[in-house]
Amino acid sequence: MSAAPAVPAASRVGRGLLGLWLVLPVVPLLLWAFADRWSFPALLPQEWGVRGLTEAAASGAGAALLRSTLLGAVVAVLATPLGAMAGRALASRQVPGSTAVLAVLMSPLVLPPFAVALGLDVLLLRLRVPAVLGVVVLLVVAALPYTTITMRAAYAAHDRGFEEEARLLGASRWRTVRSVQLPLLAPALAGAAFLAFLVGWSDYVVTLLIGGGRLTTLPLVLASAASATGNDSQVAVLSLTSVLPPVALLAVVTLLGRRGRR
Amino acid sequence: MGDRAGRGLAPADRRRLTRPAVTTTKRPAPPEAPRRRARPRTRALLLVLPAVVPVVAVVGAGLTSALLLSVGLAPLVGEPAFSLDAYRAVATDLGTSLRVSLGIAAAATAVATLVGLCLALAVTAAVRRSRLLGTLAALTIPIPHLVGAAAMGLLLADAGFLSRLLGVDPSSWPPLVGGRLWLAVVAEYAWKESAFIALVVAGVLSSRAASYGETAALLGAGRWARLRYVTLPLAAPALGATAAISFVYVLGSYEVAALLGRAHPEPLAVLAFRLFTSIDLTARPQAAAVAVTTALLALVVVLLALRALRGLAAER
pLDDT one-digit tens code per residue, A139-157 = 999 999 999 999 999 998 8
A47 close to B (CB below 8 A): no
Of B18-32, B42-56, B223-237, give the lowest mean pLDDT range: B18-32
CB of A8 less than 8 A from some CB of B: yes
Residue B14: the pLDDT is 43
Computed over every residue of chain A, the mean pLDDT equals 89
Cβ–Cβ contact A35 with B under 8 A: no
**Residues A170-217 pLDDT 10s:** 888 888 888 888 888 988 999 999 999 999 999 999 999 998 878 999
Q: How many domains does chain A have?
A: 1
Q: In the predicted model, what is the mean pLDDT of residues B219-223?
A: 82
- A132-136, A256-260, B28-32, B117-121: the lowest-pLDDT one: B28-32
> CB contact, 8 Å: A102 with chain B?
no
- Report A:165-224 residues touching B (Cβ under 8 A): 165, 167-173, 175, 194, 198, 201-202, 204-205, 209, 219, 222-223
In angstroms, the CA B13 to CA A103 distance is 35
CB contact under 8 A, B119 and A18: yes
Mutate to test the interface with A, among B25, B55, B127, B199 (most CBs of A within 10 A): B55
pLDDT at B295 over 60: yes
Helices B85-124 & B232-252 angle (0-180, nearest 10)? 150
- Is position A17 within any domain? no
The residue type found at B150 is A
pLDDT of residue A214: 84
**pLDDT surpasses 60 at B19:** no
Percentage above 70 pLDDT, chain A: 96
| Residues spanned by the domain of A134 | 51-261
A71 touches chain B (CB under 8 A): no
Q: What confidence tier does B7 reach under pLDDT thresholds 50, 70, 90?
A: very low
- In DSSP terms, A47 is beta-bridged to A37
Q: What's the whole-number mean pLDDT along residues A212-236? A: 90
At A79-132, the pLDDT tens digits run 999 999 999 999 988 888 888 999 999 999 999 999 999 999 989 988 998 999
Residue predicted with more confidence, A120 or B15: A120
Q: What is the pLDDT of residue B21?
A: 45
In this structure, which amino acid lies at residue A165?
A: E
pLDDT at A236: 94
The answer on pLDDT for B10 being more than 70 is no
Prediction ipTM score: 0.90
Band the pLDDT of B23: cuts 50, 70, 90: very low
Q: Widest CA span of chain A, in angstroms? A: 74
Tell me the average pLDDT of chain B.
Answer: 85
Is A67 a domain residue?
yes
CB contact under 8 Å between B154 and A108, yes or no, is no
Shortest distance, CA A57 to any CA of chain B (angstroms): 17
Instruction: Identify all chain B residues contacting A85, using CB atoms and an 8 Å cutoff.
Output: 47-48, 50-51
Each residue's pLDDT tens digit, B224-233: 888 888 888 8
| Residue A142 covered by a domain | yes
C-alpha A161/C-alpha B216 separation (Å) is 37
Q: pLDDT tens digits, residue range B248-280?
A: 999 999 999 999 998 889 999 999 999 999 888
Q: What is the pLDDT of residue B96?
A: 94
Rounded Cα–Cα distance for residues A249 and A77 (Å): 15
Q: What is the DSSP letter of B28?
A: P
Which chain A residues are closer than 8 Å to B151 by Cβ?
25-26, 28-29, 239
pLDDT at B12: 45
Mutate to test the interface with B, among A21, A237, A240 (most CBs of B within 10 A): A21
pLDDT of residue B27: 52
Name the DSSP letter for residue B21: P
pLDDT at A261 over 70: no
Q: List the CATH code of the domain at B75-315.
A: 1.10.3720.10
User: CATH code at A132?
Assistant: 1.10.3720.10
**Contact criterion met (CB below 8 Å) for A92 and B35:** no
pLDDT of residue A262: 52
Q: Is residue A14 part of a domain?
A: no
CB contact under 8 A, A161 and B65: no
Residue A11 located in a structural domain: no
- Residue A159 confidence class, pLDDT cut points 50, 70, 90: confident
Asked if A7 reaches chain B (Cβ–Cβ under 8 Å), the answer is: yes
pLDDT tens digits, one per residue of B146-184: 999 999 999 999 888 999 999 888 888 998 998 889 999
**In this complex, which of B51, B164, B295 lies closest to A41 when CB atoms are compared?**
B164
Which chain B residues touch A116 with a CB distance below 8 Å?
58-59, 62-63, 66, 295
CB-CB neighbours of B106 under 10 Å: 14
pLDDT given for residue A77 in this prediction:
97
Within 10 A of B68 (CB to CB), how many other CB atoms are there?
20
pLDDT tens, residue by residue, B64-77: 999 999 998 887 77
Indicate whether B284 pLDDT > 80: yes
A24 touching chain B per CB within 8 A = yes
- pLDDT, mean of residues B94-123: 95
Contacts of B258 in chain A (CB under 8 A): 223
Residue B263: phi and psi, rounded to 5, are: -70, -30
Q: Does A230 touch chain B (CB under 8 A)?
A: no
The answer to whether the Cβ–Cβ distance between A122 and B69 falls below 8 Å is: yes
State whether A95 and B17 contact (CB < 8 Å). Answer: no
DSSP class per residue in A147-167:
HHHHHHHHHHHS-HHHHHHHH
In this prediction, residue B17 carries a pLDDT of 43
A54 Cα to chain B: minimum distance (Å):
19
Residue among B8, B45, B62 minimizing CB distance to A172: B8
Least CB-CB distance to A19: which of B21, B132, B251? B132
Distance separating alpha carbons of residues B155 and A65, to the nearest angstrom: 25
- 8 Å CB contact of A111 and B150: no
| Residues facing residue A67 across a β-bridge | none
Nearest CA in chain A to B289: A115
Closest CA to A86 of B267, B45, B188: B45
Nearest chain A Cα distance for residue B85, angstroms? 18
Q: Is A127 within the bounds of a domain?
A: yes
8 Å CB contact of B252 and A226: no
Closest CB to B151: pick one of A21, A29, A119.
A29
| Range scoring the smallest mean pLDDT among A50-59, A71-80, A82-91, B296-305 | A50-59
Q: CA angle at residue A35 from A29 to A41, to 5 degrees?
A: 90
Q: Which residue ranges make up each domain of chain B?
A: 75-315
Rounded to whole angstroms, how far apart are CA atoms B205 and A107? 26
Is the residue at A33 inside a domain?
no
CB pairs under 8 A between A and B: 296
With a cut of 90, say whether residue A6 has pLDDT above it. Answer: no
- Give domain status of residue A95, yes or no: yes
DSSP chain A: -TT-THHHHHHHHHHHHHHHHHHGGGHHHHHHHTEEE--TT-SS-SEE-SHHHHHHHHTTHHHHHHHHHHHHHHHHHHHHHHHHHHHHHHHTT-STTHHHHHHHHHHHHHS-HHHHHHHHHHHHHHHT--HHHHHHHHHHHHHHHHHHHHHHHHHHHS-HHHHHHHHHTT--HHHHIIIIIHHHHHHHHHHHHHHHHHHHHH--HHHHHHHTTSS--HHHHHHHHHTSSS-HHHHHHHHHHHHHHHHHHHHHHHHHHHHHH-
In the prediction, which pLDDT does B225 show?
Answer: 85
Q: Any CB–CB contact under 8 A between A63 and chain B?
A: no
